[in-house]
Amino acid sequence: MSPVSPPPEPALDTRARPLRDLRISVTDRCNFRCVYCMPREIFGRDWEYLPREEILTYEEIARLAASFTRLGVHKVRLTGGEPLVRRDLDRLVRMLAANPAIDDLALTTNGSLLAAHADRLAAAGLTRVSVSLDAVDDATFGRMNDAHVPVARVMEGIEAAEAAGLGPVKVNMVVKRGWNDHAVLDVARRFHGTGRIVRFIEYMDVGHSNGWRLDEVVPASEILAAISEELPLEPMAPARRGEVARRYRYADGGGEIGLIASVSQPFCGDCVRARLSADGKLFTCLFAVVGHDLRAVLRGGADDEEIEARLRRLWSARDDRYSERRSAATIGLEKVEMSYIGG
């Protein structure tokens, strides 16, 4: 009997950060026009999305994901755009769930289509869901999503996901000053005591089309103070390495929240995430300017060993720490759009 090959060494970047998480964008399309991601004045009717032939097939995604897992990835999250606008997403979920190295298979969605898909996704092997919800009143939420989608439709999706066994659902709220900062406490109240964790996210300078300005960022410290005044919070220890949210629990036992503060409290130092765009480009940072073309490698006939070796080289050369370097010199750079790379 031939000896069993030892598992490959985990990939480490130049700062000794391992590769643990992979975010996969399955589409650059979205049915929302959120002001911080795909503002309608830019992403209007004339916007040209990726041609279908340039988007990775599900088989190609699953093959790349397998190569990533051999370098240490065990968490995979599907994103977009809005991932549920791509047909038969449960088929991809089933392929990824069949990979024993993936022990956490998640989805980030705006929730508007979730009620119709939750059962199939759960049956295919999805582990959990995060839902974006930037306010709990229709006026503010409608202003943020610019798609005439009411809060009730997203809540229906959250409830359907939990009924299918994908809960408790995490809720993500991007806070933009002058737009929805007044709704922070309302969101905290709505989910306090429900078992659902809300992560309040500072408005970040991802991409170039959202017209990001520093004075529109509401610092995490301000969000924390606003909630704590009514619902006192106390800090919690991180659950794992590379966790980007700072965790707090309600003193009255009503659950916990997270604060994601890339602008005011950079978290790059322990980042273990890679991102794969819908057309097969690898980005080693959320704030990247360029990506590495893996689709050409795949379609050029490379075998699995060649793909794995390329991924290892790219990760080993990684030195990304944008949020620590952010300065007047970096503001205005034409970074990759969030709708293209996922959040």
Bridge partners, residue 106, by sequence: 77, 128
What is the distance between the alpha carbons of residues 40 and 35, in angstroms, rounded to a whole number?
Answer: 8
**Cis before 232? omega within 30:** no
Q: Which pLDDT belongs to residue 337? A: 59
Q: For residue 118, which of 151, 159, 81, 77 has the smallest C-alpha distance?
A: 159
- Token pair of 48 as six digits: 């040209």
Q: Give SS3 for 250.
A: strand
What is the distance between the alpha carbons of residues 27 and 50, in angstroms, rounded to a whole number?
Answer: 8
Q: Which pLDDT belongs to residue 9? A: 80
- Token pair of 95 as six digits: 């392929």
Q: Which pLDDT belongs to residue 285? A: 83
Q: Which pLDDT belongs to residue 240? A: 74
Domains in the chain: boundaries: 21-341
Q: Which pLDDT belongs to residue 333? A: 52
168: exposed, middle or buried (Cβ count in 10 Å: 0-12, 13-18, 19+): middle
Fold adopted by 21-341: TIM Barrel (3.20.20)
Q: Which pLDDT belongs to residue 332? A: 53
Q: How far is CA 176 from the centre of its chain?
A: 18
- Token pair of 100 as six digits: 């024993």
Q: Which pLDDT belongs to residue 341? A: 65
Threshold 0.85, pTM exceeds: yes
Q: Give SS3 for 200.
A: strand
Q: Are 221 and 246 in contact (CB under 8 A)?
A: no
Q: Which pLDDT belongs to residue 8? A: 72
What is the distance between the alpha carbons of residues 268 and 202, in angstroms, rounded to a whole number?
Answer: 15
How does pLDDT run along the chain (343 residues), one tens digit per residue?
444 455 678 899 999 999 999 999 999 999 999 998 899 998 999 999 999 999 999 999 999 999 999 999 999 999 999 999 999 999 999 999 999 999 999 999 999 999 999 999 999 999 999 999 999 999 999 999 999 999 999 999 999 999 999 999 999 999 999 999 999 999 999 999 999 999 999 997 665 555 567 888 999 999 999 999 999 999 999 877 667 889 999 999 999 999 998 787 766 678 899 999 999 999 988 777 789 999 999 999 999 999 999 999 999 999 866 554 544 444 555 556 555 666 5
- Specify the amino acid at residue 249: R
92 to 116, 196, 275, 279: CA distances (angstroms): 17, 26, 17, 15
Q: Which pLDDT belongs to residue 238? A: 84
Q: How many CA atoms lie within 13 Å of 242's alpha carbon, on the beta-carbon side?
A: 14
Q: Are 341 and 204 in contact (CB under 8 A)?
A: no
Q: Which pLDDT belongs to residue 72? A: 97
